[in-house]
Amino acid sequence: MVNRLRTKLIRDVRAGIWQIVAISIVAGLGVAMFYGLLMGYSNQKISYAVSYQRLRFADVTIGLKRAPRAIVQRISGMPGVIHVDGRLVVDLDVEQSPGRRGRVTGRLVTLPPRDQPAVNQLLVLEGRLPIGSARREAALESSFAARHKYRPGDRIFPKLDGQRVAFTVTGIVSSPEYIYAVQSKQLLMPTPETFGVLFVRRDQIESLLGMAGSVNEVTLVTEPGQADRIGEEIRRRYSAYGSQDPMTRAEQPSNLLLQSDLDGYAPAAVLMPTLFLGTAALAVSLVLARWVQAQRGQVGFLRASGFPPSAILQHYLELGIAAGAGGGLVGVGLGYGYGLLISKVYADLLHMPYQIVEPHPELAVAGFGLSLVACGLGALGPARQAAAMSPAEAMRGQVPSSPMLAARIPLPLMLALPLRNLLRRPLRTLGTAVGVGASTILLILTGSMLDSLDASLRTYLKEVQNYDLLVGFSEPPADGILFHFRRWPGVLRVEPSLELPVRILHNGRSEETVMIGVLPGSQLRRLPSLDTGLPMFPLPGTVLFTDALMRKLNLERGNLLNIAYTQNTREFSAEANLRSGDPVHQPIGTPIYIGLRDLQLRYGVPLGLPPRGITGALLRVEPGYLASVRARFQARKDVALVQTSDELAAQIYELTAYSRTFMGIFMLFGAAMALAVTYTATDSILWERTRELATLRTLGFGMGRISILVALENMMVAALGAAIGLYPGIRVAQGLMDATQTEGFAMKLVVSQQTYLMALAAPVVLVFLAQWPGLRRISRLDLAGAIRLRDE
């Protein structure tokens, strides 16, 4: 015989379908987050692994001053070495054809004459590799090529030994070393506008570089776990050739950024599903508690007829499971789309050689299971309550209600009625409010993340980097050159800049970064204090760190550190022991700051620079003159880099577009959850009140007045919920921010007034939307029938 308890279940689900759907949506959003984020994460991880493996990404890279190519042969015989390549890597000025940005920094990387290199192979996206032809040819790394719109057949002009040499572009490639095309570890961000990688045949340029038969870098693929040992050994063995510290994958800039992308997933992939599924569980529990309450008589009858408590428990658990299954279905579908979207946004952002997109059904199953578990757990409380009901009690009807506090407060009826209703069931009211609060948390969270991102960019672009134009020299400029620039039309202010790459040693940890000399009273580069926001200046013998770097190195103010120039040689070397000062609030990048004089005297002079040596200049330019000043700099031979602050801003915005998309989606999900939760709450209140409200109608209350009564009650709950969610929202935002902090991008939490307003107002506004279907039902109610109904 058909199980009629199952029939009842199905009919109950059908009768309360919109509530179930609303809960399913909340749970489904949680599952979607879980599935989508983990799918994105897994696909990314696999994409890295596959790209690295297929293209033989180097396990370790060792720079050399100059070594005969024969060492490649010798290294290949070392135990643990699988593949080895020797090559030339040089950074130099590159001129571009008219119509493109005049001059950029190019990194020439040599390829063997006839074949792919043994390590760090290239994936040809368009055209072909520059091998097997007598002409001077180059392949371009794809992000640079895309930014400057290169196609095969175009020409590009590196300056080799001061000579502009034409190369024909044969193809666009992606390289495992430049998935993020980062110039150096000091500047941990891709700068395709000003930096590009050119792959060229070594036999066509080694003599032009005066390096015939030589290499200045070896790259290796090693047996697993051998990279450190082999790298160290090569450094030792070839120190006569000027071998530098080996760089393993863990330090490789592109890989470093990719890994931090991966790390960025985990907090969201845990937090978001937890928040949504927790809310779904709460919603199940609230809705089901009302159902059980409304079905007391039925439960009593079932128990009296001989249904055991376990049957009742199972029956109500199944209702929760039904919502959970709905959530699982919604979530798996939505999550799949979300996962695809993540992969696509990511693929658009980067040029992953092999972008793998797999559905990962095991994650879908796990997500589905989570939804069942969450909703099942939510149902457990009411289900157990139902199962534990004594049948005699259950059929006695009325539930005892606690005495009303509000009854004694003199209030106008329109306020007193809703308030009393809320106070009559304080726990339930609180539960509903907590559900609304969860959406508030999400709105505050996403809103403040976007606020913080904006504020960080503002801080960085308007306070830290306060210049209009940044100029970098390719060779030490003549003394007094800045006075010369100052007289150019439109130039309002010129400040000197000296930047040197350094390695910091502290407590056995080492970190490479760039040390920037700061002009006292500088107006174009400011160092806001993390604590006060006021501009600071490093005292002599002191270095200022960003708070992110201080945390990473476990530094406190006043620590003594050894800071050495990274390219120290026997002839020229510079290092000093310096003290750390107060942290600087700088959201982007992790340079360290020292007084300009200090840097010039302690480092510049020992390295052979003049006493007032500089590497660049910062300029304030009248807006109308920016283009012409920029062009003038670009035409100079001694200038390697010209960048306006707008160009910098554009670069950073491009870099953060991914995070914005993420947050935007989270916010959308948050709003959907707020709507769903308020709907379940308001609608089940309306079901419960059907008789009461119908009675009010028979007494002559119009629908308008009833709507106000209901809305007031719901708005009070919503407002309470918003208030409850506010503080946890800020804490969760702080937590997520701390967890997703990377060294290159360290934000300070900012919550704007708009965000507060949105988080507080949204639930209240949503209440009006949410209660609309219920009110419509009541306005169409057959009054006589409604009053006659006893059960339900």
536, 544 Cβ separation under 8 angstroms = yes
List the strands of the sheet with 60-68, edge to edge: 81-87, 214-222, 60-68, 247-248
User: What length is written for the chain?
Assistant: 792
Q: Least distance to other proteins from the beta carbon of 386, Å? A: 14
Helices and strands per DSSP (H, E), number in the chain: 21, 23
Distance CA 331, CA 411 (A): 46
Residue closer to other proteins, measured from CB, 1 or 699: 1
* Cβ partners under 8 Å of residue 65, min gap 6: 216, 241, 242, 243, 569
Residue 589's nearest CA partner among 186, 119, 296 is: 186
Q: Which two tokens stand for residue 124?
A: 């040809």
Q: Least distance to other proteins from the beta carbon of 306, Å? A: 2
Helix residue ranges, H only, 537-623: 547-553, 596-599
For 550-558, the CB contacts below 8 A with 24+ separation are 550/580, 550/583, 551/741, 552/511, 552/590, 552/743, 553/504, 553/506, 553/507, 553/509, 553/511, 554/506, 554/507, 554/509, 555/506, 555/580, 556/580, 557/581, 557/582, 557/583
Residue closer to other proteins, measured from CB, 13 or 406: 13
Q: Least distance to other proteins from the beta carbon of 315, Å? A: 11
Residue closer to other proteins, measured from CB, 161 or 393: 393
Residue closer to other proteins, measured from CB, 309 or 472: 309
The pairing of strands 639-644 and 469-473 is antiparallel
Residue closer to other proteins, measured from CB, 303 or 351: 303
Distance CA 186, CA 576 (A): 19
The pairing of strands 89-96 and 155-160 is antiparallel
Residue closer to other proteins, measured from CB, 267 or 391: 391
Residue closer to other proteins, measured from CB, 163 or 305: 305
Q: How many CB atoms lie within 10 A of CB 322?
A: 22
Q: Least distance to other proteins from the beta carbon of 1, Å? A: 5
Burial status of residue 211 (CB atoms within 10 A of its CB: 0-12, 13-18, 19 or more): middle
Q: Given the rule CB under 8 A, which residues bind other proteins?
A: 1-5, 7-8, 11-12, 14-15, 297-298, 300-309, 390-392, 395, 397, 785, 789-792
Residue 678's nearest CA partner among 760, 755, 771, 774 is: 771
Residue closer to other proteins, measured from CB, 15 or 414: 15
Residue closer to other proteins, measured from CB, 320 or 613: 320
Q: Least distance to other proteins from the beta carbon of 789, Å? A: 7
- CA distances in angstroms from 314 to 297, 308, 385, 387, listed in the order given: 18, 10, 12, 9
Q: How many CA atoms lie within 13 A of 205 on its CB side?
A: 32
Q: Least distance to other proteins from the beta carbon of 313, Å? A: 13
Helix (H, G, I), strand (E, B) or coil at 763: helix
Residue closer to other proteins, measured from CB, 307 or 658: 307
Q: Least distance to other proteins from the beta carbon of 255, Å? A: 60
Residue closer to other proteins, measured from CB, 391 or 535: 391
Distance CA 743, CA 738 (A): 11
Q: Least distance to other proteins from the beta carbon of 8, Å? A: 5
200, 138 Cβ separation under 8 angstroms = yes
Residue closer to other proteins, measured from CB, 487 or 790: 790
Q: Least distance to other proteins from the beta carbon of 410, Å? A: 30
Q: Least distance to other proteins from the beta carbon of 273, Å? A: 33
Q: Which two tokens stand for residue 6?
A: 């199952």
Helix (H, G, I), strand (E, B) or coil at 744: coil
Q: Least distance to other proteins from the beta carbon of 299, Å? A: 9
Residue 745: which region, alpha, beta or left (left: phi > 0; alpha: psi -120 to 50)? beta
Distance CA 593, CA 543 (A): 5
* Helix (H) or strand (E) segment spanning residue 235: helix 227-237
**CA torsion, points 630, 633, 634, 639, in degrees to nearest 10?**
-140
Q: Least distance to other proteins from the beta carbon of 389, Å? A: 11
Q: Least distance to other proteins from the beta carbon of 792, Å? A: 5
Q: Least distance to other proteins from the beta carbon of 259, Å? A: 55
Q: How many CB atoms lie within 10 A of CB 590?
A: 25
Q: Least distance to other proteins from the beta carbon of 688, Å? A: 15
Residue closer to other proteins, measured from CB, 388 or 411: 388
Distance CA 181, CA 197 (A): 8
Q: Least distance to other proteins from the beta carbon of 406, Å? A: 24
Q: How many CB atoms lie within 10 A of CB 688?
A: 18
Residue closer to other proteins, measured from CB, 392 or 539: 392
Residue closer to other proteins, measured from CB, 163 or 310: 310
Residue closer to other proteins, measured from CB, 195 or 687: 687
494, 619 Cβ separation under 8 angstroms = yes
